Amino acid sequence: MLAFAVRRILISIPILLLASFIVFALGVSSGNPLAPLLEKNPPAPPNVIAAETVRLHLDQPLIPRYFSWLAGLFHGDFGPSVVSTMNIGHELGARFWVTIRLIALAMVIALVLAVVVGVLSAVKQYTVTDYTTTFLGFLFLAMPSFWLAILLKQGGIEFNKAVDAQVIYTIGATSIPPPPGTGAQIVDVLGHMVLPTIALALISYASWSRFTRASMLEVMNSDYVRLARSKGLSRRTVMVKHALRTALIPLTTVTALDIASIIGGAVVTETVFQWKGMGDFLLTAIRTEDVYAASSWLLLTGVIVVMFNLIADLLYGVLDPRIRYA
């Protein structure tokens, strides 16, 4: 297992390098970070433009710029930003913890709902329960993430107006200024996470529950499950210890593959609810043509995707002992 994990990590390194170079090259060719200075009226002095050109390494060819940026990553240097006072690494790290708590909580809620609803729907196939969960699954699956987030936000605003009090938080990741006391701050953070987490979780849960249902139906009709039932094991034991563990393998694969789309959904959700997380960081970097900031964001998300796929591969052996890595 350890050798398999090491091989997967080693294989992922050239993939990440190739992806980072493509992103860096596209970012460099997409525009000129000095455009705001060149378009000012009156125009910026030539010495200022020359200094910014050197600071942003715009006087270097593409390949040396890329390798210079890549070498700096190993020392914690994510490159110069178009905003001279901003440290990309520090800013990206702070935004990461804002976003990761949203993604982690949404994934946990979506997975729990997907397993419960998928198993229930499979066990009660072609009943009112199955038809109801299927309808809700397709309903949330058809909803664009931004539209669902806007509906939830507007619903929270209308509810606050109806009760004439701030009960549901609809803007920001925390209150400004934060309430005094550690306990009050934790409650405040959790309160701001309610609507964004629901918006992000429902979209993921919808597709995952369908995979769980289909996988459970396939496993329930397999020979070893029928054998376990014929040996006198209880229905609950057969479902939990035999059927469910095998049925979770496809869900594990889908969850790992969907992590990229979840991060993309978080960008949209954070924009709607005006969170200062990784989504806002990426959109700001794109608007200002900040190549190093955008490339660092995409490299970090690439590492997250690779890590989740590696964890999924390792979980296969836990869920099904028949799976072994030589």
Rounded to whole angstroms, the Cα distance separating 227 from 72 reads: 59
pLDDT (0 to 100) of residue 108 = 92
CATH number for position 202: 1.10.3720.10
Q: Whole-model pTM above 0.75?
A: yes
Rounded to whole angstroms, the Cα distance separating 224 from 245 reads: 13
Tell me the CA distances in angstroms from 209 to 10, 126, 175, 287, one per residue in order: 33, 16, 34, 37
Task: Note whether residue 74 is domain-resident.
Answer: no
Residues of the domain holding 304: 1-46+288-326
Q: What is the mean pLDDT of the chain?
A: 85
Phi, psi of 87 (to 5 degrees): -95, 115
Task: Note whether residue 202 is domain-resident.
Answer: yes
Tell me the CA distances in angstroms from 129 to 120, 221, 228, one per residue in order: 8, 20, 26
179's tokens: 């309430």
Task: Note whether residue 249 is domain-resident.
Answer: yes
Dump pLDDT digits (tens) for 165-206. 888 888 888 888 888 888 888 888 888 899 999 999 988 888
Dump pLDDT digits (tens) for 288-314. 888 888 888 888 888 888 888 888 877
Indicate if 119 and 226 belong to the same structural domain. Answer: yes
Indicate if 112 and 247 belong to the same structural domain. Answer: yes
Indicate if 126 and 23 belong to the same structural domain. Answer: no
**Number of separate helices (H) and strands (E) present in the chain:** 13, 0
48 closest CA partner among 34, 28, 67: 34
278: left (phi over 0), alpha (psi -120 to 50) or beta: alpha
> Total structural domains in the chain?
2
Length of the chain: 326
Rounded to whole angstroms, the Cα distance separating 54 from 84 reads: 12
Q: Is the pLDDT of residue 35 over 80?
A: no
pLDDT (0 to 100) of residue 238 = 77
Rounded to whole angstroms, the Cα distance separating 51 from 46 reads: 9
Indicate if 15 and 115 belong to the same structural domain. Answer: no
Task: Note whether residue 64 is domain-resident.
Answer: no
7 beta partners: none
Greatest CA separation for the chain? 87
The answer to whether the beta carbons of residues 299 and 16 sit under 8 Å apart is yes
214's tokens: 């289909």
Rounded to whole angstroms, the Cα distance separating 82 from 285 reads: 9
Task: Note whether residue 282 is domain-resident.
Answer: no
pLDDT (0 to 100) of residue 150 = 92
Indicate if 238 and 326 belong to the same structural domain. Answer: no
Task: Note whether residue 72 is domain-resident.
Answer: no
- Token pair 């070498």 is at which residue? 71
Dump pLDDT digits (tens) for 48-97. 888 888 888 888 888 888 888 888 888 888 888 888 888 898 999 889 99
36's tokens: 């705001």
CA-CA-CA-CA dihedral for 173, 178, 180, 182, to nearest 10: 30
Indicate if 254 and 136 belong to the same structural domain. Answer: yes
Indicate if 143 and 253 belong to the same structural domain. Answer: yes
Indicate if 222 and 317 belong to the same structural domain. Answer: no
129's tokens: 């329960």
Phi, psi of 289 (to 5 degrees): 55, 40
